[in-house]
Amino acid sequence: MAKRVLVPIDGSEGAWHALDHAAAEHPDARLTLLFVINPVGAGAGGQAGDIGYAEEWYETAEQRAEALFDDAADRLDGRTFDSEITVGRPAHAIVAFAEEHPIDAVVMGSHGRESVSRILLGSVAETTVRRSPVPVTVVR
């Protein structure tokens, strides 16, 4: 049985299903919720080189993460968990976190967007499954 389970969250329905699944299937495990700030969205709407915009964008992303952690606390009904925020491309950040920390399993949501494999898993889930050093459960 997994002792430490990583659950990436992004506010999507799939991520909430994954959190519910992780809590139910790993009742004795320590859950770590991971929010990945994707820098790809940082340039939208700002001026190139505008430091103030970049700081504001990052602070907004951090606030969104904290709000999701609060929602997760309500959803987990008093169960304690660790929360982490990192920056990077989501799939790569999830795999890197699992490699660098004592994680036994990843439970994540699925997003179907394009092509056959991505319809089944979602691009972030697909990449995580392929590269993760620990077992990954993808919840639809």
What's the confidence (pLDDT) of residue 1?
Answer: 74
Domain 4-139, second-level architecture? 3-Layer(aba) Sandwich (3.40)
What's the confidence (pLDDT) of residue 2?
Answer: 82
* Average pLDDT rounded to a whole number, residues 71-80: 96
What's the confidence (pLDDT) of residue 112?
Answer: 44
pLDDT tens, position by position, 5-22: 999 999 999 999 999 999
Give the whole-angstrom CA distance, residue 118 versus residue 94: 17
**pTM score:** 0.87
**Residue 3 pLDDT greater than 90, yes or no:** yes
How confident is the prediction for the chain on average, in pLDDT? 88
Secondary structure tally for the chain: helices H, strands E: 5, 5
What's the confidence (pLDDT) of residue 123?
Answer: 87
Give the whole-angstrom CA distance, residue 26 versus residue 22: 6
